[in-house]
Amino acid sequence: MKIAVFSTKSYDKEYLNQANASHELSFFETSLNINTVNLTQGFGAICVFVNDKIDAAIIDELAANGIQIIALRCAGFNNVDLVAAAAKNIKVVRVPSYSPQAVAEHTVALILTLNRKTHKVYNRVRESNFSLERLIGFNLYQKTVGVIGTGQIGKAFCNIMLGFRCKVIAYDVQESETLKKQGVMYMSFDEVLQQSDIISLHCPLMPKTHHIINSESFAKMKQGAMLINTSRGGLVKTIDAIEALKTGHLGYLGIDVYEQEEHLFFKDLSESVIQDDTIERLMSFHNVLITPHQGFFTKEALEQIATTTLNNLTSFEKGLPLQNQVLA
């Protein structure tokens, strides 16, 4: 198939080319948007990533250009108007599971870094400052870790935290019997907020979960709690997080995703003046750690993403059932 790949980075090209046997891939560095959608003329498929916003207007253009299938090279699909795609008979496929461990392990990296301040001490030691002042952390052992969403990534994360001998509590609309047997205790969303020392978000972003963490949720959390979000930016109302940080009620914030990330993440803006005052305010806190949506970024995950994306497109081309189709 002729596939237009958008938001291409060097690593996308490398891993997709390695995994490709039969498709004709054209790589575009630009994201897909209303100004670039014309590039899809002459292609049968597009391949996009998390911050390519595919709304109804773009879908209309894609349909007019003959695009039959949208291949997301990610798990989340909140950036695609599925109803509009279905109305134009454009199929949407994704990579539902490429490496839950990659994201779960990055979540733990955020927790350990915020807690033990390795990012700060790295710089200190390079300047021959070997002092321990202001580096004190806390033991994870026997702390209560609350997990919101215990799907593939949430499960992998629970298992790691059980290994640290934490008490793991969780909220999900679908409880996992396996996790229960392993020692995870399910409770209500509010109880998880109230009892946790560390709260980690692993549920998808959808209308029901938009801003599930807001000023009311922060008020329910323990004084000094740590919040980690490696799922989607829209789960947390950022301005409320800033207020909770300012009062000191929120003790630590670790985020790999951000509400307005499409304007920032995956780009080198080191020579630009950042126009987003909210992220600038977040970056000013000593107890906030931000990574630019790198949870998925391991060799194993990139191999799996490339292979599954191309297999999804091959199945479509051959008229085989689309196992990874996302339905409206």
- With CA atoms as reference, report the closest residue to 302 among 7, 2, 11: 11
Region from 3-11, 82-90, 115-123, 149-157 binding ligand NAD, contact rule CB under 6 A: 149-157
Q: Cβ atoms within 10 A of the Cβ of 80, count?
A: 23
- 24 assigned to active site: no
Residue 150 engages ligand NAD in binding (rule: CB under 6 A): yes
Residue 247 engages ligand NAD in binding (rule: CB under 6 A): no
Q: What's phi and psi for 309, nearest 5 deg?
A: -60, -45
Closest distance to ligand NAD from the beta carbon of 89 (Å): 25
- 281 assigned to active site: no
Distances in Å between the Cα of 197 and the Cα atoms of 54, 190, 206, 261, 289 are: 37, 14, 26, 27, 17
Region from 56-64, 118-126, 145-153, 316-324 binding ligand NAD, contact rule CB under 6 A: 145-153
**Euclidean distance between CA atoms 235 and 250, whole angstroms:** 16
Closest distance to ligand NAD from the beta carbon of 149 (Å): 3
- With CA atoms as reference, report the closest residue to 87 among 109, 58, 56: 56
Residue 44 engages ligand NAD in binding (rule: CB under 6 A): no
Burial of 185 (0-12, 13-18, 19+ CB in 10 A): middle
One residue of 44, 146, 149, 254 binding ligand NAD per CB under 6 A: 149
One residue of 52, 197, 256, 261 binding ligand NAD per CB under 6 A: 256
Residues near ligand NAD, by CB under 6 A: 75-76, 97, 100, 103, 148-154, 171-174, 202-205, 208-209, 230-232, 256-257, 293, 295-296
Catalytic residues: 232, 261, 293
